[in-house]
Amino acid sequence: MGECDDEDWLLLKPKEPLPSQCCASGCKPCVFDIYERELDKWKRARAKGDIDLLTGKREAPMTSDDALLNPECFSAFQLESLKKLTEAASLYRFRVPNGVHLKLSLGQHLVLRGTVDGLEVQRAYTPVNRVNTEGYFEVLIKLYEDGLMSQYIKTWKVGDVIDWRRPFGGFPYKPNKYGHLLMFVSGTGIAPMLSIIQSITDNEEDETFVTLTGCFRTYEDIYMKSLLQEQSLYWNVKTFYVLSKEETLENLPWSYHEKTHLGRLNLEVIKTLVNSCRKAPFALICGSVTFNQDVLNYLRSAGLDEDSCFMF
């Protein structure tokens, strides 16, 4: 049994997380949940005067798979490559041990940890690769001039080792559960939709229709164009774009002319999309808080109730 004096116990007491250490994505457990759990463990260990209860020496050893998937611990992944997609956004690929995948569920996000000027910051990002991908995972990240995490990400170089925490959230999808999925995304909100679409097109037995509506500033700002173009070749997948800052369709490839609306997403556009569904629609929404609420309000006006909508 370990012995500690009062000063030692105070040094071992868990530190309460800073607000910047919460990614605000509804993770279960959140860093604050983990803190409360660790604090409770510390109190019990101190009350019994047994440090082994705090260090976990009596617990079974963690396997490599557990370490990779543990929701309470960060694991290190090496940055394998990065590909610039737009002026501000890039696709980052991280190496996973051979023969191992993250066992993601559709639309789940990972939590990234970084340090800027001594301040720990955490943010959530959704992998865009197929959920059963082995050997790597990829995340789409847009950098912001004044963003704390962006300052950290700007320092990354291929070969760097970066801390990520296990998947959270996601969309409980089952093949053929919905007749027609209407996806509304703004910017990097497209990320969780990509694994869902690929899951549907990879499954020959899944006959769910999909219409993805992507809202971007210009044609150049559309993320993952090649993948979206590839997926839209399937009989049950359509893509539609709303470009708020594009002045004329003449600036776009001809294949985009009939599936692009210039301006902002509005009730008329959403009514047209809802009415064009071949089967009963179910809406998936991912973007800023304002975008999500606007789309939800438009969908209500178009006849969908909240039970037919899911917001990431």
pLDDT digits (tens, 9 = 90+) for 229-265: 999 999 999 999 999 999 999 989 999 999 999 999 9
Q: Is the pLDDT of residue 166 over 90?
A: no
Q: Residues 204-231: what's their mean pLDDT?
A: 97
pLDDT at 1: 42
Q: What is the spatial distance between Cα 220 and Cα 199, in angstroms, rounded to a whole number?
A: 26
Percent of the chain with pLDDT over 70: 80
66 band by pLDDT with thresholds 50, 70 and 90 = very low
Percent of the chain with pLDDT over 90: 67
Is the separation of the CB atoms in 167 and 109 below 8 Å? Answer: yes
- Neighbouring C-beta atoms of residue 143, cutoff 10 Å: 14
48 band by pLDDT with thresholds 50, 70 and 90 = confident
Cα 158 off chain centre by: 22
Q: Residues 82-100: what's their mean pLDDT?
A: 91
pLDDT at 98: 80
- pTM, whole model, 2 decimals? 0.78
pLDDT at 49: 74
Q: What is the spatial distance between Cα 195 and Cα 80, in angstroms, rounded to a whole number?
A: 20
pLDDT at 167: 76
3 state SS of 255: helix
Q: Is the pLDDT of residue 57 over 50?
A: no
Helix, strand and coil content of the chain, in percent to the nearest 5, comes to 35, 25, 40
Q: Which residue has the higher pLDDT, 36 or 186?
A: 186
pLDDT at 18: 61
Strands 119-125 and 108-116: antiparallel
